[in-house]
Amino acid sequence: MYLMYVDESGDIGSENSPTHYFILSALIFHELRWNSILDNLVDFRQHLRQTKGLKLREEIHATHFVNRPGELRRIKRNDRIDILKQCIDWVKNQQDVNVITIATQKANKSKADVFNWTWQALTQRFENTIRHHNFNGPMNADDKGIVLADRTDDKQLTQLIRKMRRYNPIPNSGSYHSGGYRNIPINYIIEDPIMRESRNSYLHQIVDVVAYCARQLYEPNKYMRKKGGYKFYERLDPVIVKKASTRHEFGIVEL
């Protein structure tokens, strides 16, 4: 069984929104590695507590780390940015994890289209990579996958994945905008998506950083540009699922 932890950066709206992109990033690994990866992550959080003063109960939320730290203002801004970089490097150094990112440009798209197209693309890449045995780490001949999402529009996401089990049109041209399609229902993803609150999940907090750093490739804020943070995502190169998109240097699926 493969576990896909997902978080987003940006929002799905186009009116009065500060972002031009909606990003979904996923951290994926086999159930056989769950205990060891979580143990490594707890050790990492203890390291951050000792070196940066970040308490174990405090949530890593990348957007707030940079611009709205609240109580975390006690940690210097440079150190907060360094925490984000260390989170990226923690992911990079895990041998059996995999990263997939979908980036949707929101212009001229409805909220429903932004949400559905982005989640559909991520779900399809998860499905395809399981089917073709292309994930790093252990595997079984008949592996399935399950989605663990940071809390989003629960009903809409559940309906989408249920629908994809019956009707999942795949464009023949590789484009979401034109051309014929084939109906290829998903078979490798089981159950409805499981929703988690990121404040209660160290793994989702890590994926939050991945998604945030992915969005910095497209629309970096002033401080991240100044500190080189817009290049943090590139550090994930060893664990990125490049087959997700051969059109992008870092395998990002762009819609």
pLDDT digits (tens, 9 = 90+) for 64-91: 888 888 899 999 999 999 999 999 999 9
Predicted confidence at residue 121, as pLDDT, reads 96
In the CATH scheme, what is the code of domain 2-254? 3.30.420.10
Predicted confidence at residue 173, as pLDDT, reads 57
Strands (E), the chain: 2-9, 21-30, 98-105, 145-150, 169-171, 181-183, 194-196, 253-254
What are the distances in angstroms from CA 105 to CA 24, 78, 177, 196? 12, 30, 13, 26
pLDDT band at 214 (very low <50, low <70, confident <90, very high): very high
Place of tokens 């975390």: 72
Q: What is the 3-state secondary structure (H, E, C) of 28-73?
A: EEEHHHHHHHHHHHHHHHHHHHHHHCCCCCCCCCHHHHHCCCHHHH
Predicted confidence at residue 222, as pLDDT, reads 87
Is the confidence at residue 128, as pLDDT, over 60?
A: yes
Predicted confidence at residue 183, as pLDDT, reads 86
What are the distances in angstroms from CA 177 to CA 163, 172, 243? 20, 11, 21
Compare 173 and 37 and report the one with higher pLDDT: 37
**Apex CA 239: angle with CA 214 and CA 62, to 5°?**
35
Is the confidence at residue 232, as pLDDT, over 60?
A: yes
* Partners of 182 in beta bridges: 170
Between strands 194-196 and 145-150, the pairing is parallel
Burial tier of 202 (Cβ tally within 10 Å: 0-12, 13-18, 19+): middle
CB 26 within 8 A of CB 99: yes
Predicted confidence at residue 92, as pLDDT, reads 97
Please give the single-letter amino acid code of residue 244. A
**Which residue in 184, 181, 180 sits closest to 166, CA to CA?**
184
Predicted confidence at residue 174, as pLDDT, reads 52
Q: How far is 39 from 188, CA to CA, in rounded Å?
A: 27
pTM: 0.93
For range 117-127, the mean pLDDT: 96
Q: How far is 5 from 150, CA to CA, in rounded Å?
A: 8
Predicted confidence at residue 157, as pLDDT, reads 96
Q: How far is 218 from 125, CA to CA, in rounded Å?
A: 21
Percent of the chain scoring above 70 in pLDDT? 97
Predicted confidence at residue 168, as pLDDT, reads 86
pLDDT band at 179 (very low <50, low <70, confident <90, very high): low
Least confident span in 57-61, 216-220, 223-227:
223-227
